[in-house]
């Protein structure tokens, strides 16, 4: 006999197999609607006899099982990674896993594929991996957040397909700068701060916080930027230089209203987070960003603990081995202020007069570069026109010479024909005897 609608196996087979993204506004509605519906059906079931339930063909009388989460172990498939991607090289490794530079076989574009190092099913790492996928999916696309394309599970490992950033990370740049003792200038530091602040403003506007801002999570994309005659100094989105900074690694992202805090790197972590003060976690991101910019300025590596760690949490700037303007130093000091409410928000940072000056300077630099390119192009066009005229004149001379030589050859040939040709008059000799 076939299983009826009330059969437990049938009910299990009808279980919706989905994950609920906690970062979307619809997640609470979905959970609430599901619980209410299940509660209503169970109440009806308890008040009815089994015969009545079996005799009913109305789907409204069925018990709808709760939503079922997808785990790593439940995703059985052939290797999508091997089938769809060609691995070029390993470009990074961290606590979570390794990152590979890959070409997608179908579209021929390069992507960064992040793969977890160890099996994730049932572990804390699984929750962090899913958290990163949830956050990426909600945040969508922004110039200063690493773009997300897709994610899937293979052999109990999570794989995430992200945008490939050809400039590596800010941590790579800082390490190279230490080696060569050449650090980012104040203008470059302001550009870094401005761009990452724009990315944070976008994240915070969705009521999310990153919670792990540090140099290794700031990715760099080096690409030409379209230059126009008009520059909007209040633009919160577009990059103002060919070096574009993007926030990545969203494994610690949580919500502002209902934070589930997974502490990030202690070297860049705000003290209030350690004290479990989560009243304004957006300001914890600002603290971490301040230390990130200070690291890029050439300061010694940030301490993970000890007296220097506490000095920084008391608002003392580490020693910076280059001369920076006092107003910029004051801004950095404000960003790491011991009292979170005294730190500027990401939106306030973007509008700060120190960074507005940097944006104007960057725009002016682009104007200078544009004018230089235009002047260079004008010279090249002038030289090209001269070359084209010279070539045309030379070709005309060659054609004239060819015509003269051809005419001379024809005339010479005609004279020769009259002397020895058929039309030449013959002499006749008459002898009379």
Burial class (CB in 10 A: 0-12, 13-18, 19+), 432: exposed
Catalytic residue numbers, as ranges = 212
Of 100-114, 178-192, 233-247, 355-369, which gets the smallest average pLDDT? 355-369
Is 94 marked as a binding-site residue?
A: yes
Residue 383 has a pLDDT of 78
Q: Is residue 432 part of a domain?
A: no
Q: Is 248 annotated as a binding residue?
A: no
96 is in an annotated binding site: yes
- CA dist 382 to 223, 338, 393, 396, Å? 29, 61, 17, 21
Q: Looking at the structure, do residues 141 and 179 belong to the same domain, yes or no?
A: no
Domain with residue 100: its CATH number is: 3.30.200.20
Q: Is 431 a domain residue?
A: no
Dmax of the chain from CA atoms? 164
User: From the CA atom positions of the chain, what is the Rg in Å?
Assistant: 37
Cβ-contact 15, 68 below 8 angstroms: yes
Q: What is the pLDDT of residues 294-313, one digit of tens each?
A: 999 999 999 999 999 999 99
Q: Whole-model pTM?
A: 0.67
pLDDT in tens, 316-353: 999 999 999 999 999 999 999 999 999 999 999 999 99
- What confidence score (pLDDT) does residue 373 get? 59
Q: Which domain holds residue 57?
A: 8-67
187 and 47 assigned to the same domain: no
Specify if 424 maps to a domain: no
Which range of 269-283, 394-408, 414-428 scores highest in mean pLDDT? It is 269-283
47 annotated to bind ligand: no
Domain-located, residue 190: yes
Which of residues 102, 129, 164 is at a domain's end? 164
Q: Do 227 and 79 have their domain in common?
A: no
Residue 344: inside a domain: yes
* Domain end marker among 47, 67, 87: 67
Burial 363-383 (b: 16+ CB within 10 A, else e): beebeeeeeeeeeeeeeeeee
- Assigned domain for 146 exists: yes
For residue 155, say whether it is annotated as part of any ligand binding site.
no
Instruction: Indicate the residue among 67, 84, 100 that finishes a domain.
Output: 67
Does residue 375 have a known ligand-binding role? no
Q: Does 306 belong to an annotated binding site?
A: no
The verdict on whether residue 93 carries a ligand-binding annotation is yes
Give me the pLDDT at residue 322, please: 93
User: Cβ-count burial of 162 within 10 angstroms (0-12 exposed, 13-18 middle, 19+ buried)?
Assistant: buried
Instruction: For residues 122-134, give the mean pLDDT.
Output: 79
| CATH code where residue 253 lies | 1.10.510.10
Q: Are 176 and 250 within one domain?
A: yes
Do residue 152 and residue 225 come from a single domain? no
Residues 95 and 141 in one domain: yes
pLDDT at 405: 73
How many domains are contained in the chain? 3
CA distances from 138 to 35, 114, 212, 244, 281 (A): 24, 19, 18, 22, 19
Whether residue 285 is predicted with pLDDT greater than 50 in this model: the reply is: yes
pLDDT tens readout for residues 11-53: 555 555 556 767 666 565 556 655 665 555 555 444 444 444 4
Residue 37 covered by a domain: yes
Together in a domain, 150 and 207: no
pLDDT above 80: residue 274 = yes
Strand partners, 98: 93, 115
Residues 74 and 84 reside in one and the same domain = yes
The reply to whether 197 and 330 lie within a common domain is: yes
129 and 186 share one domain? no
CA–CA distances in Å: residue 372 to residues 148, 188, 201, 229: 37, 21, 34, 13
* Residue 95, annotated as binding a ligand: yes
Per-residue pLDDT, averaged over 265-289, amounts to: 95
What is the reported pLDDT for 386? Answer: 82
Q: Do residues 160 and 178 both lie within one domain?
A: no
Within a domain: residue 429?
no
Residues 189-216 pLDDT 10s:
999 999 999 999 999 999 999 999 999 9
Instruction: Tell me what pLDDT residue 241 has.
Output: 60
Q: Are residues 382 and 289 in the same domain?
A: yes
The contacts of residue 367 (CB under 8 Å, 6+ apart) are 231
């Amino acid at each position: 006999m076939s299983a009826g609608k009330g059969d437990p196996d049938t009910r299990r087979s009808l279980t919706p197999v989905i994950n609920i993204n906690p970062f979307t506004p619809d997640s609470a509605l979905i959970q609430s609607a599901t619980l209410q519906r299940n509660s209503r059906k169970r109440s009806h079931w308890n008040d009815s006899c089994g015969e009545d339930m079996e005799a009913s063909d109305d789907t409204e009388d069925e018990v709808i099982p709760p939503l079922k989460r997808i785990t790593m172990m439940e995703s059985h498939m052939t290797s999508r990674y091997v089938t769809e991607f060609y691995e070029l090289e390993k470009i990074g490794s961290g606590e979570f896993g390794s990152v590979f530079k890959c070409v997608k076989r179908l579209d021929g574009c390069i992507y960064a594929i992040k793969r977890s190092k160890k099996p994730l099913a049932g572990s804390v790492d699984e929750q962090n991996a899913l958290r990163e996928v949830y956050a990426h999916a909600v945040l969508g696309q922004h110039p200063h957040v690493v773009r997300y394309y897709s994610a899937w599970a293979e052999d109990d490992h999570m794989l995430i397909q992200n945008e490939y950033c050809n400039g590596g990370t800010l941590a790579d740049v800082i390490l190279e700068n230490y080696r060569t003792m050449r650090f980012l200038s104040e203008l470059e530091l302001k550009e870094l701060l401005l761009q990452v602040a724009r990315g944070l403003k976008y994240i915070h506007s969705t009521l999310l916080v990153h919670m792990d801002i540090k140099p290794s999570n700031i990715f760099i994309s080096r690409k030409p930027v379209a230059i126009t005659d008009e520059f909007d100094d209040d633009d919160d989105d577009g990059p103002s230089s060919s070096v574009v900074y993007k926030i990545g690694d969203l494994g610690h992202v949580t919500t502002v209203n209902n934070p589930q805090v997974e502490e990030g790197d202690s070297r860049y972590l705000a003290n209030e987070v350690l004290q479990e003060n989560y009243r304004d976690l957006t300001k914890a991101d600002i603290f971490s960003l301040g230390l990130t910019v200070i690291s890029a300025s050439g300061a010694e590596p940030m301490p993970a603990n000890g007296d220097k760690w506490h000095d920084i949490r008391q608002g003392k700037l580490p020693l910076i081995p280059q001369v920076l303007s006092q107003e910029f130093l004051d801004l950095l000091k404000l960003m790491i202020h011991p009292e979170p409410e005294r730190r500027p928000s990401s939106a306030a940072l973007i509008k700060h007069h120190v960074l507005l000056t940097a944006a104007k300077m960057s725009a002016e630099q682009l104007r200078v570069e544009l004018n230089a390119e235009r002047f260079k192009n004008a010279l090249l066009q002038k030289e090209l026109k001269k070359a084209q005229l010279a070539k045309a004149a030379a070709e005309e001379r060659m054609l004239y010479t060819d015509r003269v030589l051809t005419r001379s050859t024809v005339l010479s040939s005609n004279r020769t024909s009259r002397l020895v040709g058929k039309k030449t008059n013959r002499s006749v000799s008459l002898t009379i005897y």
